[in-house]
Amino acid sequence: MNLMMLLEMAVQGFGDRVAFVNGQESLTYQQLFDAARQAGAHLRDSECEHLALLDVSSLALPIALFASAWAGKPFVPINYRLTDVEMDALLQRIQPAFLVTDQARIATLSGAAAVAPMERHAFVDLARAGGTAATTDWPMDPDEIAVLLFTSGTTGAPKAAVLRHRHLVSYMFSAVEFGAAAADDVVLVAVPPYHIAGVISVLSSVYAGRRVVQLPNFTARAWLELAQRERVTTAFVVPTMLAQIVRELEGRSCVDLPHLTALSYGGGKMPGPVIERAMALLPHTEFTQAYGLTETSSTICVLLPQDHRAAAASDKPEIRRRLTSVGRALPGVELQIRASEGRVLTPGERGEIYVRGEQVSGEYVGRGSMLDDQGWFPTRDAGELDAEGYLFLEGRADDVIVRGAENMSPGEIEDVLVRHPAVAEAGVVGVPDEHWGEAVAALIVLKPGASATAAELQDWVKRHLRSSRVPQLVRFASELPYNETGKLLRRTIRLNLAEAHSSQSLIF
Amino acid sequence: MSQYKPGVRLRSAVCTTEVVVIAVPAGNIALSCGGAPLLGEGDTAAAGVVLDAAAAQGTLLGKRYTNETGKLELLCVKPGAGSLAAAGVALVVKSAKPLPSSD
C-alpha cells in the first residue's frame, strides 16, 4: 500500500482530467503522475531522507507529496510562518532533507540544518522535464512513513506526528468513494499545506477525481472571487475563514455562488451565530462539519447536511443543540468518553475523548505510539456524546476550568457570551484564584460600534447559566489571539488574564 | 496456494486485472482471477491458460473485493475481464458507504 496507488488509479480512471489549478498553471492527473515519477527518482537518488515543503499551496504541493511516496521518503510540510529560529530547529530534526520553498526563504536559510533547497518553480520544472515511461516501482510496505506533520504546538514544542501509508489509505477507503466526482466538480482549497486538512485534501480530491483550485493566501474577497470564477462546487474552510466570508457577504447586496453545492468546515470550534448566518446567506449550499486531528489522519466525525437542517428546523432543545455538535463517528471509527481515572462514561457525561480505528496513528517521532493496548488514542479533547452518538466538544481536556469542586468547559460560557448582541468574539479561560483554585475569566471582542460593560455581560451569563459560570473577570480587547489556522490560543489569554486577575484580587 | 502480505500487488494471468492486497487472513489461500491463479512479481502464467467463461464477470477500477468473512480484501487498481475468487468462491464488491465530502 502506498499513496501512489491512489494516483495510479486516478490516472487509470481519468488521466486527462485537470487535477490541480493554481492561477494560470495546471496539471492533469497524468501530468501529475509523470511529475511525481521524475521528482521521486531525483529524491530517491539523493542523500536526502525527507522531502520538506516550506511554502504556500502551489502545484509543487501535490508533486512533492506523491514524489515522496514514490521515493519512499517521508513528506514533511512545514509552517512558513514560524520564526527563523523555530524553523531551523524543525529542519535539524529532519536533516538531511530536500527542501522545496520560495526564493526569499532560500536567501535567509542559516545553514544550521543540512538541507538541499530548491525554489518552488525550479522544482516543478525539474519534475515536469521527464519522459513518460510507465513504472510502478514505489515501495508497497503499508508501514512505511508517508507524512510527518509537526503539530501546531499550542501547548508546547511541536511534536512530529507520524502518518503511515496504511493510516492515510484507510481513511481514503472509509471516507471517499473512488472516482465519485462528476467531471465538473471543483474543490477550492484554502488551508495551508502544513495543516492535516491541506494534506488530506490532495489525497481525497485525487481519489474522488475532483479538480482542485488552490488559493495560496486566504482573504474572504479572494475566496469569493475564485469560487465564482472557477465555478467551485465544494470547499473546506476553518471557522475563522467562514466568519470572514460571512462578514464579507453581509456587506453585499446579492450573494452569487450558484455552483457552490457543499461547504465543509472544521479545525476548531465554530461559533453558533456564524454557522447560522452562513446557512441563511447560502440557502442552496449543504453544510458538513468535520472533526478530526492530525494524529487521526484528519476527519473522525461528521455532522451531515441533514443533521444541520434537522437541527436548524427543530424546536426541541436537544435536537437544536446538535448544530453545535461535531456529528457522529465515521464508519470504522469508534469513540469513547472516559473519566480521568479511566472509567468509560455514558451519554451525557463529560470526559476525555478516546478514538480507535485503522486511520488512527497516535504516534510521534521519538515518543512512539500513544495508543493503549486496546488501540485507543487519547485525544486530549474534552467532550460528551448524546444518546444517538452525536459528539459535543468542550475544548481541550487541559482547558477545562476547575472552580471549587466544579468542572466547567470554556466553550459553554463562550457560546452564551457570543449570543449577546454586542459581542463579536469571546475567549474564556480559568485563571489561578486563591479562594476557588481557578476563577472564570473572559476576554471579549465587541462588535464594531457596539458597547457593553463587564457587569452587563456578567448579568447576561447569569441569566443563561448557573451562577458558578459567571466570569469573575471580564476584559475587552480589539481581537483574540489565534494561530494562523484559526485555533484560539488560550495559553496567551490565560497569561494576560491571570495577571489582571491577581492585581484585581489585590485591589478588592 | 500462497501466503500474502498487505500491500502486495498481484496481476491476472488471463486479463488486464491488477489488484493490491489490502487485508488477508493468515495462512495459505488460493487467489484467482478469470479462473487462473493470480500472479505475483516475477511469476509467469502457466502455458495455455485462458480466461474461464464461468469467471468472466469482470473487475471494476477502484472497487474493493471481499470474501464472506470480510477478512480478505483486494483493491482493483487495473480493471479487466476476469472475476476474482478465493478458493474458487467468487469475491464480492465491498459496499461503499458514501458520505458527503468533508475535506
pLDDT tens across A231-248, in order? 999 999 998 899 999 999
Q: Count A/B contacts: CB-CB distance under 8 Å.
A: 79
The pLDDT confidence band at residue A507, using thresholds 50, 70 and 90, is very low
pLDDT at position A82: 84
Give me the interface pTM, i.e. the ipTM.
0.90
Share of chain A above pLDDT 70, in %: 97
Residue A410 has pLDDT above 80, yes or no: yes
Place of cell 468574539: A425
- Domain-wise residue ranges, chain B: 9-43+50-93
Whether residue A142 and residue B6 make contact (CB cut-off 8 A), yes or no, is yes
Residue of B79, B96, B102 lying closest to A288 (CB–CB): B102
Residue A441 has pLDDT above 90, yes or no: yes
Mean pLDDT across A409-435: 90
Residue type (1 letter), B25: P
| Three-state DSSP state, A279 | helix
Residue A430 has pLDDT above 80, yes or no: yes
Residue of A1, A197, A234 lying closest to B20 (CB–CB): A1
H helix or E strand, kind and range, residue A433: strand A423-433
Our CA-based measurement puts residue A235 at a distance from the nearest CA of chain B, in whole angstroms, of 7
What are the two backbone dihedrals, phi and then psi, of residue A210, each rounded to the nearest 5 degrees? -85, 155
pLDDT at position A318: 87
Residue A8 has pLDDT above 80, yes or no: yes
B contacts of A173 (beta carbons < 8 Å): 22, 64
Residue A269 has pLDDT above 80, yes or no: no
A391 touches chain B (CB under 8 A): no
Cell numbers given for A469: 459560570
Residue B22 has pLDDT above 50, yes or no: yes
pLDDT at position A505: 59
In CATH, which of 1.10.260.40, 3.40.190.10, 3.40.50.980, 3.40.309.10 is domain A1-163? 3.40.50.980
A contacts of B20 (beta carbons < 8 Å): 1, 5, 140
H helix or E strand, kind and range, residue A21: strand A18-22
A234 touches chain B (CB under 8 A): yes
| Interface mutation target, options A143, A172, A177, chain B, most CBs of B under 10 Å | A177
Mean pLDDT across B49-68: 94
- Domain-wise residue ranges, chain A: 1-163, 309-398, 400-502
Q: Tell me the pLDDT of chain A averaged across its residues.
A: 91
Nearest CA to A364 out of A145, A172, A200, A168 is that of: A145
B62 touches chain A (CB under 8 A): yes
Our CA-based measurement puts residue B96 at a distance from the nearest CA of chain A, in whole angstroms, of 7
The pLDDT confidence band at residue A264, using thresholds 50, 70 and 90, is very high
Neighbour count for residue A333 (Cβ, 10 Å): 21
| Interface mutation target, options B4, B11, B24, B102, chain A, most CBs of A under 10 Å | B102
B contacts of A262 (beta carbons < 8 Å): 100-101
Q: What is the pTM of this model?
A: 0.88
Nearest CA to A482 out of A104, A179, A154, A216 is that of: A154
**DSSP-assigned states of every residue in A57-105:** SSTHHHHHHHHHHHHT--EEE--TTS-HHHHHHHHHHH-SEEEEE-HHH
Alpha-carbon distances of A379 from A217, A347, A404, rounded to whole Å: 30, 18, 26
Contact indicator for A208, A180 with CB cutoff of 8 Å = yes
Nearest CA in chain B to A1: B7
A400-502 CATH: 3.30.300.30
B contacts of A136 (beta carbons < 8 Å): 9
pLDDT at position A478: 93
Mean pLDDT across A337-344: 93
Residue of B9, B61, B99 lying closest to A140 (CB–CB): B9
pLDDT at position A491: 86
A309-398 CATH: 2.30.38.10
A142 touches chain B (CB under 8 A): yes
Our CA-based measurement puts residue A194 at a distance from the nearest CA of chain B, in whole angstroms, of 15
Tell me A502's DSSP state: H
B63 touches chain A (CB under 8 A): yes
A contacts of B79 (beta carbons < 8 Å): 12
pLDDT at position A83: 82
Going by their DSSP bridges, the two strands A363-364 and A334-338 should be labelled as unpaired
Exposed, middle or buried, A235 (CB in 10 Å: 0-12/13-18/19+)?
buried
The pLDDT confidence band at residue A154, using thresholds 50, 70 and 90, is low
B90 touches chain A (CB under 8 A): no
Higher confidence at residue A245 or residue A324? A245
Residue B20 has pLDDT above 80, yes or no: yes
Contact indicator for B87, B72 with CB cutoff of 8 Å = no
Residue A161 has pLDDT above 60, yes or no: yes
The pLDDT confidence band at residue A157, using thresholds 50, 70 and 90, is confident
Question: Taking every pair of C-alpha atoms in chain B, what is the biggest distance, in angstroms?
Answer: 49
pLDDT at position A508: 42
Residue B96 has pLDDT above 70, yes or no: no
The pLDDT confidence band at residue A155, using thresholds 50, 70 and 90, is low
Judged by average pLDDT, the poorest of A481-490, A494-503, B44-53 is A481-490
Our CA-based measurement puts residue A79 at a distance from the nearest CA of chain B, in whole angstroms, of 20
Question: Taking every pair of C-alpha atoms in chain A, what is the biggest distance, in angstroms?
Answer: 78
Our CA-based measurement puts residue B100 at a distance from the nearest CA of chain A, in whole angstroms, of 7
Going by their DSSP bridges, the two strands B73-78 and B18-23 should be labelled as antiparallel
Residue of B9, B61, B101 lying closest to A208 (CB–CB): B101
Whether residue B103 and residue A262 make contact (CB cut-off 8 A), yes or no, is no
B40 touches chain A (CB under 8 A): no
**DSSP-assigned states of every residue in B9-48:** EEE-SSSS-EEEEEE--SS-B-EEETTEE-B-TT--PPTT
A330 touches chain B (CB under 8 A): yes
Residue A506 has pLDDT above 60, yes or no: no
